Amino acid sequence: MLTRLRRQPSWLTFLLSFLLLLFAWQMVVVWGNYDRFILPGPYDVAQQFKVVWQDGRLPKHTWITFSEVIPGLFIGIAFATPLGYLLSKSPFVARLVSPYLIASQAIPIIAIAPLLTIWVRSTYWSRVLVAVIVVFFPILINVVAGLRSVPVEQYELFHSLRASRWQIFRKLELPAALPILLAGLKVGATLSVIGALVGEFVQPKSEGLGFLLVTARYQFKTDLVFVVIVTLGVMALLLYGVVSLLEWWLLRWQTFAHGRKV
């Protein structure tokens, strides 16, 4: 049975495991005889989903969170990439900023986020900023690791061909660092959702899925909490999927690296 399942397409395996999960969840609710406020069943959640979808609250708040996540991710990349390049090229810059960068990681974002809402006038941009900060470090680390992975001999090859700095970046460093860079981007993509959520949590007058989550909890609408959680999960998965697709496209050559020798 298991071997036959293994041969099925992956979407079918996923569908089966998903149905099984829903079933187990429903069973727990039924056997435990839990109150709807403690643990709603999948059916209750689906009902609630329909309600908030139709009254427009879910699409609205999802869109708001999404519109924070995307700029957060891109701005994070836009800052982390050049700094990562500088860090790996200049030992001086590395010595100068590394201690602060590492120390900053010891401070939980949830502690800084309220400060940001005070400092940044725009409530929207203060939430984006939290996402930027969360995304920044893993991207930075991966840019540095990616550039360090370029073998010295390949730099020497480019120098012997008298390549310009830009050519070295474009034709050597970027493609060589890409696998590690994309791995960082995957982490960053999922973290950006968490960042936006934290930003929404800490604002008194807020909006977005984080806001919806907090409100639902206060009102003991546990089924709505579940709706938000699932939506967040789907959003993170979608972003992860887009990066994976990008990875698959950009690193097509790797399929040959594992292929047979001639």
Partner 1 sequence: MKHSFVALKNISHIFSNGFQVVADVSLTISGGEFVALVGRSGVGKSTLLRLMAGLFVPTQGEVMLDNQPAHHTQEPVGLVFQKDNLLPWRTVQGNVHLPLEIQGQSQKSTHQRIITLLDLVGLAGYAHHYPAQLSGGMAQRVALARALVHEPSLLLLDEPFGALDALTREKMGQELLRIWQLLPVTVCMVTHSIPEAVLLADRVLVLNGQPGTITADISIDLPRPRTLEMEGTSEFYGYAAAIRAAIE
**Interface with partner 1, residue 160, by CB under 8 A:** yes
**Interface with partner 1, residue 259, by CB under 8 A:** yes
Residue choice 156, 217, 242, 248 for contact with partner 1 (CB under 8 A): 156
Site for partner 1 in 125-154 (CB under 8 A): 151, 153-154
**Interface with partner 1, residue 260, by CB under 8 A:** yes
DSSP string, 37-93: TT---HHHHHHHHHHHHHTTHHHHHHHHHHHHHHHHHHHHHHHHHHHHHHHHH-HHH
**Interface with partner 1, residue 90, by CB under 8 A:** no
**Interface with partner 1, residue 95, by CB under 8 A:** no
Nearer to partner 1, 100 or 166 (CB): 166
Residue choice 12, 28, 115, 161 for contact with partner 1 (CB under 8 A): 161
Residues that contact partner 1, how many (by CB under 8 A): 26
CB of 128 closer than 8 Å to CB of 199:
yes
**Residue of 77, 87, 79, 85 lying closest to 191 (CA atoms):** 77
The pair of structure tokens assigned to 19 is 């149905």
**Residue of 228, 179, 198, 178 lying closest to 69 (CA atoms):** 198
> Which residues form the interface with partner 1 (CB under 8 A)?
151, 153-154, 156-163, 167, 171-172, 175-176, 178, 251, 253, 256-262
